[in-house]
Amino acid sequence: MSAADGDERLAIDAGRVERLFAANRLLDVDDFLQREVARRMLDRLATVRVDASRVADLGCGTGADLAMLRERFEGAAVFGVDRSLPRLRRIEDPARRGGLSRFFVRTAGPSRVQADFAALPFAARSIDVLWSNLALHWSPEPHRVLPEWSRVARVGGLVAFSAFGPDTLREVAAAFAAVDGARHVMPFTDMHDYGDMLVSSGFTTPVVDMERLTLTYARPESLWRDVRALGGNASLARPRGLHGRDHRRRVEAALETARDASGRYALTFELVFAHAWKGEPRTTSRGETIVKVQRSR
């Protein structure tokens, strides 16, 4: 990641991110996008084989992926990790289900862990699979997060994540840029930078690719509702004052350019997908380089 890219990433307001995800209004939004991205992540791992006894969902939110991970990695202990306690409290405990279903629970539910995924409470080399769905782009320092994930991953373990890329919400960014030129959309990291960060963090053979998903809306009100539901703007460069009706009218007029051929408003999401394997350590805990010598017979 270049210095310029690093400066832009550091422009994310971590405090605002924490407040946004602790807000009640973010707990009940439709999780269609997260479900669709999780499905695509699993498709990419269909041919991947890994023996897993401990799986961690990093930035798990309200735990939408946990049941799927328990099914994919049958028999493994699954940990849902999130910094937001209100979101963790929404994770369903199978043992507390009502009706007859509670009698058919064969295994314990996922363990909920309140922690920042940049400072995990796991021992080194203790996790077999690290999974993170649409969470890493919220970090102001992903180049510091991935080394922490590498620390807790066992050698030969798997990391798989998805994140928003730079073209996400480009229609909204363009509409605001035409009116006031201020940043109203968070900066997002490029897929190539994620690949570089994985390698520099000790992961090997990374596979990183990108897809674009476009949602369409009949009315701008529906579009704005989804933009707000995704967490809003956590950029440090965001405007701090309130905007009047005239400003909103001008922005919505500029948004007219986002209509597709059928007249609906389009909203683009660039989806970055990555997975890699934890390699053998290259340095000791004291920073000494490890050189392996193979003796010939």
> Does residue 26 lie within any of the structural domains?
yes
Task: Look up residue 19 and give its two tokens.
Answer: 């407040």
Cα-only R_g, the chain: 21
> Does residue 284 lie within any of the structural domains?
no
> Does residue 226 lie within any of the structural domains?
no
> Does residue 231 lie within any of the structural domains?
no
User: Could you list the pLDDT tens digit for every one of the 297 residues in the chain?
Assistant: 443 344 444 576 666 666 666 665 554 445 788 899 999 999 999 999 999 999 999 999 889 999 999 999 999 999 999 988 888 888 875 444 444 433 333 345 679 999 999 999 999 999 999 999 999 998 888 999 999 999 999 999 999 999 999 999 999 888 888 887 666 778 889 999 999 999 999 999 999 999 999 999 999 888 888 887 776 666 555 555 445 577 678 888 888 888 888 999 999 999 999 999 999 987 655 555 554 445 555
Give the neighbor-by-neighbor strand order of the sheet with 153-164: 111-114, 77-82, 54-58, 127-133, 153-164, 265-278, 203-217
pLDDT at 23: 63
Q: For residue 277, which of 182, 160, 147, 177 has the smallest C-alpha distance?
A: 160
> Does residue 148 lie within any of the structural domains?
yes
Q: Containing domain of residue 115, as a range?
A: 3-167+187-212+271-278
Residue 3, helix vs strand vs coil: helix
- CATH number, domain containing residue 135: 3.40.50.150
> Does residue 77 lie within any of the structural domains?
yes
Q: How many domains does the chain divide into?
A: 1
> Does residue 296 lie within any of the structural domains?
no
> Does residue 219 lie within any of the structural domains?
no
- Distance CA(136)–CA(72), nearest Å, equals 22
pTM assigned to the model: 0.82
Q: Which residue type occupies 208? A: V
Please report, in angstroms and rounded to a whole number, the separation of the first and last CA atoms in the chain. 43
pLDDT at 104: 35
- Distance CA(233)–CA(251), nearest Å, equals 16
Residue 224: φ, ψ to 5°: -65, -35
DSSP 141-185: -HHHHHHHHHHHEEEEEEEEEEEE-TTTTHHHHHHHHHHT----S
